[in-house]
Structure 1
Amino acid sequence: MALTNEKLTSSPTDVEEAINDTSSDSDALARLDQLNKEYGATWDSPSDPNNPYNWSTARKISIALIFSFGQLVTLMAASMIAAALDDIIVDLAIDAATAQIVFSTYFLGLAFGPFVVAAFSEMHGRKMVWVYSQVWFILWNLVSPFGNSKGLMIFARLMAGCGASVGTTLTGPVMADMFSISNRGRSMAIASFLPFLGPSLGPIVGGFITQWVTWQWIFYIMSIFSAALTILGLFVIRESYTPILLRRKSPTPSPTKTRLLPSLLRPINLLLHRPIIQLLALLLALNFGLYSLILSTYATLFITRYNQTPSQASLHYLTISLGGTLAAQIGARMMDVIYRRLKARSPNNTSVPEFRVPYMVPGFVFVAAGFFWYAWAAQMTAHWAVVDAGTVVFALGSFMVSQAVLAYKLDEFGDHGASAGAAARCLMYVASFGFPIFAPGLYAALGYGWGNSIFGFAWVVLAWPMLPVFWVFGARLRALGRAEGEHGVVGV
């Protein structure tokens, strides 16, 4: 199936960059005319205040914070029950492996929910899709603990994860809607600061709630916060998707009802037919698989081997947050600096997604070094600070890799960044579902040292060769399977 029936002559990234490049009025006006041909309308001028690129900094940051808080809550919901798994095992009368399924099923929702979220966001815009998905998450998250039913909790966690996927699916594309390509790292630093706190705050808050009240309140409290944020988002968030805004200005807007199926199938087509997406998906799966191994077992490690209480053990998740914060606030800005310097050195000042690859290099190294450090420190029951230090290094590298992949994907796929993200993240969340399930048996058989080292070696053998492949052959890989007008908008 072709990705689109429309024949477009340029990518949205090229169009938007030209519109915002005021160095040449004639070129900017020519691009405005091109937008009119492609979308049936155009901006009134290169400085049109309705263009999301020209919105005030206060408005951009306000929208970014709403999306960030939303993603923070849903990511906290993913990890909050980690410190309560022992109590859940008792109350639901299940074994440790089943408890890990309860924990991990949420990630299956994060894997497949984006296929629907991306399709509808590229048909109807970002705002209402975000609102409806938030409501979906709230309802299923409330249902999860009802009746202490194992089957209901597993299914409800799956459905809640589908709604929660709106944060991971749309936050990056919304930032790309409002910020130019040369400021992509800066925009991600703004949008990702709070979400990076989620994996650590979740188990911490969950540990204290479990110790002070009951684990069921983990779900109730998250739903209350998410409901308040959704109401606030109704008033703060403005539609930012340029194709939708321009289609609304068009005197003859395109019908959408006949284009739902192509939009829903677009992420699948990208995953099946674009080798570059397949490589990015494999890279993210390996990266997040290692991350989920630590995330799902970190509290258990300190409870069982260091004899700490659930609330004490949950505090160690702050190390993951520290690594993520360093990547967001320092690393993301470094990525912008590297990108601008490579662009300045390129012929005719042109830019390509491969300019994100140098930023991946330290991330790849930190992932391996930190993971092996954590694995053998835990195996030898070294001082807890030694274990935490390894986790900080790992988390820093893991988030750096994720940032670079996100930027690379948005650079390549433009307006279809949400669909490309859904395709690339699918394997990532499937891996995060599967890895924690066999973690207890793996550690029982091999210990933390060799049990984790197996996956550390897999990262080195499978992931590291991708760096020269992206750098040398990236342009050719991106061209493989690319349909004419692929960057165009389908379904709006």
Structure 2
Amino acid sequence: MRDPIGSQEISMAQAASQQGGVEAQAIQTTDERTRAEAMERLVKLKEAYGATWDRPDDPDDPYNWPNWRKIWTGVIFSFGQLVTLMSSGMMAAALNDISHDVGLSPSTTQLTSSIYFLGLASGPLFIAAWSEMDGRKNIWIFSNIWYILWNSAAPIGNSKALLVLGRLLSGVGASAGITLTQPTMADMYGKSERGRSIALATFLPYLGPALGPIVGGLATGYMSWHWLFWILSLVDALALILGIFSIKESYTPVLLKRKAAQDPGWLNVEKSPPPAHRMFWSRLATQFGGNLKRPVTLLLKQPAVQLISLVMALNFGTYVLMISTTALMWLNHYHQSETDSSLHYLAFSVGATISAQVGGRAMDWSYKKLRVRYASQGQARPELRVPFMLVGAVLSPVGLLWYGWSAEAKLQWIMPDIGAAIFTGGNFVFSQGMTAYLLDEFGEFGASATAASRIFSYAIGFVFPIFAPQLYNNLGYGWGSTLLALLTLALGLPAPLILWLLGNKLRKLGR
């Protein structure tokens, strides 16, 4: 039987995986340590799937794809996610027009806009399950087609039922970007480049919720609100076409199974596929059902996932609340025009851009430094992401306080915008660190872990905008933002510390 990586190299990799002492780590150069990690990865792949890559630098391995292909894949996935996330806030500037034309009360129209988040909350369960069975590309294509169809149908005929159904189901399709973009980048980049991969994956999508209201505000003055839906569908169709013809499958387990199917010599006897006469649909349903349970199982049994889910939900809910109330603050409190009010969302975009680009590089720098410092503990632990998280846990409440009290005092417009940028940067840095932790811990099941962590986030994203106006109406912008800052600090600061001190124990509890 063919031995792709050789028994001598397997022994070397196994020996490397057992090295944990200070002396062994100290004498290894960076290149030697990197090669040892690569060989260990090949051994683990063979143990898991009965097949592995020919060598550490096998060009078919997504880790070894040229940089241009990795970057292009990240750009296409990110572009598609940007468009679909813009849908979450695009109705904000046109709520009055939609309410009038469709015949809905203002509160019901806001609910119709927010129901998109319920789609984002439910879709990842199915998308993650399918991606870990069939790979990333096919489900990404299907989900984008689904989004385009329902998003285009939503405004047709000013139908109440179709608008609600279209918003809900287009959100299901839109969740593909949220579920797949960062796991796809993790398919191509190792742990030491996690920050770089997340920077690529989040640069465009993080702008989506902020750019949606900007585009909506500018477009509402020149065209019918129906075109807000159709323009985004057209742009996503462009991303879809580019992806169909230029994106390659990147999910290693699926690639190895395809390679094994072409060369039976790659398979161990115990890993051989079932006989062809077995019912295809029965096997497919069984496999999909098992994958579908994985995100729910992770959420129910993994204390670390539960903690991260709770904190990320508050994190995202606060961001959505800010996005949904900013325009009203500039309209009613500062008495600016709709166009001028929408331009203040650029502050959120600035914070998102800085967090994605500077934060991603800072994450890699921090991880590499900590990995050397804690080399005596063997393999790099997910907890090495915690110090990076703490930066976001502090910046986010600082930005909220800056924003709220600047607005309360009606200071010059740049002051609330600076607060919004600081809040957004801290919010997204915290989210980046949490996501990196999940990807480090769950590896090939990163899509399931991401889906599990996002269920609460988008459910809260649906609820928060409903009571957001009452929060600021009752407490004012100063004390309302102070309440949010205290909640963010009360959960956001202890969570990373718990992971740092008890992360290993929490992971063992979930096994």
TM-score, normalized by the shorter chain, greater than 0.5: yes
**Which residue does 1:237 correspond to in 2?**
247
**Which residue does 1:283 correspond to in 2?**
311
Whether 1:160 aligns to 2:194 is: no
Question: Gaps spanning 5+ residues in structure 2: where?
Answer: 1-12, 18-29, 265-271, 275-282
Whether 1:331 aligns to 2:359 is: yes
CA change 1:30–1:467 in 2 (3 A) is closer
Give RMSD over aligned pairs.
2.1
**Which residue does 1:454 correspond to in 2?**
483
**Which residue does 1:49 correspond to in 2?**
59
Supply the distance in 2 between the matched residues of 1:132 and 1:373 (Cα, whole angstroms).
43
Helix, strand or coil at the partner of 2:90: helix
Q: Shift in Å at residue 415 of structure 1?
A: 0.7
Which residue, out of 150, 154, 164, partners 1:144? 154
Whether 1:181 aligns to 2:187 is: no
Decide whether the 8 Å contact of 2:299 with 2:306 is kept in 1: yes
Which residue, out of 92, 100, 109, partners 1:90? 100
Supply the distance in 1 between the matched residues of 2:509 and 2:130 (Cα, whole angstroms).
26
Provide Cα deviations, 1:197-226, integer angstroms capped at 9, x if missing partner: 212221111111101111110000000111
CA change 1:445–1:41 in 2 (3 A) is same
Supply the distance in 1 between the matched residues of 2:304 and 2:172 (Cα, whole angstroms).
25
Higher mean C-alpha deviation, range 207-216 or range 347-356: 347-356
**Which residue does 1:117 correspond to in 2?**
127
Which residue, out of 423, 439, 446, partners 1:410? 439
Which residue, out of 49, 65, 79, partners 1:39? 49
Decide whether the 8 Å contact of 2:308 with 2:495 is kept in 1: no
Alignment of 1:91-110 (within 5 A): 91-110=101-120
User: Greater Rg, structure 1 or structure 2?
Assistant: 2
Supply the distance in 1 between the matched residues of 2:313 and 2:100 (Cα, whole angstroms).
32
Q: Shift in Å at residue 385 of structure 1?
A: 1.2
Q: Shift in Å at residue 229 of structure 1?
A: 1.2
Paired residues in the alignment total 467
**Which residue does 2:212 correspond to in 1?**
202
**Which residue does 2:293 correspond to in 1?**
265
Which residue, out of 248, 270, 278, partners 2:258? 248
**Which residue does 1:311 correspond to in 2?**
339
TM-score, length-normalised on structure 2?
Answer: 0.87
Supply the distance in 2 between the matched residues of 1:351 and 1:239 (Cα, whole angstroms).
27
Which residue, out of 367, 373, 390, partners 1:345? 373
CA change 1:157–1:31 in 2 (3 A) is closer
CA change 1:37–1:208 in 2 (3 A) is same
**Which residue does 1:481 correspond to in 2?**
510
Percent identity reads 49
Helix, strand or coil at the partner of 1:212: coil
Supply the distance in 1 between the matched residues of 2:507 and 2:40 (Cα, whole angstroms).
27
Supply the distance in 1 between the matched residues of 2:43 and 2:381 (Cα, whole angstroms).
24
CA change 1:167–1:428 in 2 (3 A) is same
Q: Shift in Å at residue 94 of structure 1?
A: 2.6
Question: Gaps spanning 5+ residues in structure 1: where?
Answer: 1-13, 483-492
**Which residue does 1:422 correspond to in 2?**
451
CA change 1:31–1:427 in 2 (3 A) is closer
CA change 1:56–1:90 in 2 (3 A) is same
Provide Cα deviations, 1:293-347, integer angstroms capped at 9, x if missing partner: 1111111211222222222211111111100111111111111111101100113
CA change 1:170–1:25 in 2 (3 A) is closer
- Larger RCO (alpha carbons 8 Å, 6+ apart): 1
Provide Cα deviations, 1:163-191, integer angstroms capped at 9, x if missing partner: 00000110110010001110000111122
Alignment of 1:191-230 (within 5 A): 191-230=201-240
TM-score, length-normalised on structure 1?
Answer: 0.91
**Which residue does 1:487 correspond to in 2?**
none
**Which residue does 1:322 correspond to in 2?**
350
Whether 1:293 aligns to 2:321 is: yes
